[in-house]
Amino acid sequence: MELQTLRELVEEMGRDSNGHFALHYDAVLDDWGDDYVVLSTHRDADALDSINFDEMCSALEKAEGAYTTVRFGHFAVGHLDYIVVERDTPALTKAKELLERLADYPILNEDRLCTCTTCGYDFDTEDHDTVPPYCSSTCEDADEGNDEDE
């Protein structure tokens, strides 16, 4: 499995009209530029991407070795988030193991698919008569405007 360094990713994203890298934070590149990007997500990501990103972070917190998440602004999807893992550490070994699992099956924790990522509603255990009317990325806002008792 071929991983890309954060520096390679930033260079691949190219330069903006002013000649600056489209994704560029000198401090981040100084500290993490030679370490590996293992997973990404963005503001408009679906449940699979969001859950996998969270699960990867949780697993790396328990592994020996450093990791960080890096966020870059993006004109179309608001922001891009990347998990960057220190090279030659048990954390990188764990990240590679999880990436191999994702190659075989698209989600790291399918139990979390039953939980709304916004409001926390658990579709497996909650009373299905009280499902928020619009349980989605805007479920809290939609729920406020849809009182059936009024």
Residue 46 one-letter amino acid? D
Residue 149 one-letter amino acid? D
Burial (CB < 10 A; 0-12, 13-18, 19+), residue 21, is middle
User: What tens-digit pLDDT sequence spans the chain (150 residues)?
Assistant: 799 999 898 887 766 656 555 555 667 888 899 999 999 999 888 888 988 999 999 999 999 889 999 988 777 778 889 999 999 999 999 999 999 999 999 989 887 777 766 666 666 665 555 555 445 544 544 444 444 444
- Here the tokens at position 75 are 């004109």
8 Å CB contact between 108 and 114: no
Whole-number pLDDT of residue 30: 83
Q: Where are the domains of the chain?
A: 4-113, 115-150
* Residue whose pair of structure tokens reads 């509603």 in the numeric block: 121
pTM of the model: 0.73
Kindly give the interhelix angle for 47-62 and 90-104, rounded to the nearest 10 degrees: 150
Q: How far apart are CA 118 and CA 46, in angstroms?
A: 12
